[in-house]
Chain A
Amino acid sequence: MTPVAEVDRHLTPTLRIRPTKGWAALNLRELWSYRDLLWILVERNIKVIYKQTALGMTWVALQPLIAAIILAVVFGRVAKLPSDGMPYLLFVFCGLTAWRYFSETAQRSNSSLVNNAQLVSKVYFPRMLIPLSHTFSALVDFAVMLVMLFIFMAVYRVPPTLRLAAIPGFLFLTAMAATGVALWFSALSVKYRDCNYALPFFLQIWMYASAVVYPTSMIVSPRWQTLFALNPVVGFVEGFRWSVLGRSALNPTIFWVTVAMSLFILVSGAFFFRRVERSFADII
């Protein structure tokens, strides 16, 4: 028995809750309406990450610096890999700037949904905001590396050129692909916790496959170069070197393949995420 006798049935509901199946629309408008929450999540990520550490934000600078020095010793001094005629440390640091933004975004967002299980199972908001917030908060680390890169340029007396203006463009591409990878992995790790263990290895292999420690010019055949560029990180690393070091020429094939791949990873990641997110609260 329902004690609702006379009700106005001509209104249209503001929300229809129905079971959904298959592929869902991205619903970017809703994402936009939650932008305040996105910024607060970004703020939270930044504030929390180095809390209660003695060195605090110094770690942001220290981590890539140490990584670059190790790579420079191992691959520059010992293995004597070529570096397009640039000082190896500068060469590798430039590659790392692009790579670390990509890998940090992917790594931090990988377990982000699981870490926020409390939120996902208790409150509604577009779940995409959680991995997406890391795309933005990792920009802090990127900015620090960029400043350090400029310092390296001054130390090695590499004159800045107009090409530096292309950095935001390459950063945008990197962010697109990184977000795509983040969406794929964070969604998968809700169901398969294996991702937490697999991704670090995967990223390590990915780095060595991405021309961070060696120049693309080591691969001579242009056909192989195009194939190589299917890995979009190659394009990001080359793009950064092109705009910062100003030596190597930008291969247009690599560039366009990179643009296409970044778009593909982002769009496929977003649709995959939307497809599986409806079951997050039930299985997280």
Chain B
Amino acid sequence: MSELALSVTGLSKSFNIDHRRNGLPRYRTLHDDLLALPRRLLTTFSRNGRSTSEIFWALRDVSFEVKRGEVIGIIGANGAGKSTLLKILNRITEPTTGGADVYGRVGALLEVGTGFHPELTGRENIFLNGAILGMSRAEIRQKFDEIIAFAEIEKFLDTPVKRYSSGMYVRLAFAVAAHLEPEILLIDEVLAVGDAQFQKKSLAKMEEVAAKDGRTVIFVSHSMSTISRLCPRVIWLRGGQVAADGTANDVIQQYSDIASVDQPRVSWPEGISNAGITEIKLMSVGLLDKNCRQTADFDYSEPLSFELTYTVFDPIPFCRIGFMLHALDGSPVFEIYDIDEDTNGGRREPGSYVIRCEVPGDLLKPGRYSLSLNAGMPGIKNLVRLDGVLQFSVHDHALPGAAMNLPRLGVIRPKTRWFRKAL
């Protein structure tokens, strides 16, 4: 008989979406509410007035149980409710109906570097961040040396973190969080940041945390390779509901079969950005072929373009906006930014813009790909991070050798030139 760590029953969460304020940040002013008051009274009394707001269910009747020591992966497309679920379990937001019983201390790592203050030094931030994540001063002091050794920032301990490189920043943030010792650990897609070597190190740390007896881990990720490596059991959320719950192999197989439908365009009528970011919102992203037609199915030999529209609300001194491409198994293909070619282009003035990035033909290996978006002020803060917003396929209609199309190693298949002569 094993002990229960977490029991979720009939959990639902709804949000009101207001359709009146298209494209504008959703801050309510007192003025708005006063103006809306008569209409609200009218609709309440008459009940037939069409309300301009709509209820959106981020989670609907989600139930599952987790035993102590289990490591569970949660997968699903964007907007499937993964992050909302973690936020409810971490008490950041409340459920609308249903509930959860938690047996043990919960610790969460929902975003690397939460609570870091740019003006404070690395040392000061370790204490600040540790306390915010729920560690006592004594606990932090006890683990202090371990944390700085893990983060490899000994030399910069007394430098304000605003002068850190983005790599150092992420390393320090992860190091603090990794040394939390809660009984139930909630992790939301944090391993996707940092360089490859540090990713490997943090992944190993996660495995160690998971292996320690009695530690329960709930892990949200878009990377199927990470999920299948860390989590024996996987829950797939679709449209706020549990679509599948079972062994990693089964669920990931079902997910890749059904969930990721190729899609040429996604728009956010109200704009989208990280929580608390008001300077910039992404409005839409699309995939275009060489004739500028929207499609999610490309020919191997032809170029394809990513198109992104965004709105800047406040001037940003320096910011890069770009794309990350992953193969559907989670292996990264490349990461590119709009300022790669023009390093002076980082300043952003208010207004709406469209950027397009053309990827040459004869490059991506035929297969399925997933596009992620990233906008940030390197070393300062991330502004927008959206993983796996679009999926598309590359086909090899005209590819020579298509007839003997055996699986090939690697993520790209560049067009190469071959020479042969008889000796």
Contact = CB atoms under 8 A, between A and B. Distances in A.
B93 interface: yes
A7 B246 CA distance: 17
Nearest to B6: A13
B255 to A, nearest CB: 15
A162 interface: no
A134 to B, nearest CB: 15
B143 to A, nearest CB: 14
Q: Most B CB atoms within 10 A — which of A41, A191, A193, A282? A: A282
A20 B66 CA distance: 24
B1 A15 contact: no
A72 B261 CA distance: 73
B275 A19 contact: no
B110 A17 contact: no
Secondary structure call for the B interface: mixed
A281 B3 CA distance: 32
A7 B94 contact: no
Interface stretch (B25-33, B45-53, B329-337, B402-410): B25-33
Given A8-B3, A11-B3, A118-B115, A17 B91 contact: yes
Contacts of A16: 99-102
Given A6-B1, A19-B96, A123-B110, A194 B29 contact: yes
Contacts of B7: 13
Nearest to A121: B275
Given A40-B127, A117-B275, A282-B15, A19 B91 contact: no
Contacts of B98: 19
A37 B63 CA distance: 33
A92 to B, nearest CB: 34
Interface residues of B, number: 60
A221 interface: no
Contacts of B110: 122-123
A13 B103 contact: yes
Contact of B102 (A13, A48, A123): A13
A77 interface: no
Interface in B227-280: 233, 245-246, 275-276
Contact of A7 (B4, B63, B115, B233): B4
Contacts of B67: 4, 7
Contact of B276 (A20, A44, A284): A284
Contacts of A19: 94-99
Interface of A: 1-4, 6-9, 11, 13-20, 36-37, 39-41, 43-44, 47-48, 51-52, 117-125, 191-194, 278-279, 281-284
7 contacts: A16-B101, A17-B95, A122-B111, A193-B27, A194-B31, A281-B92, A283-B26
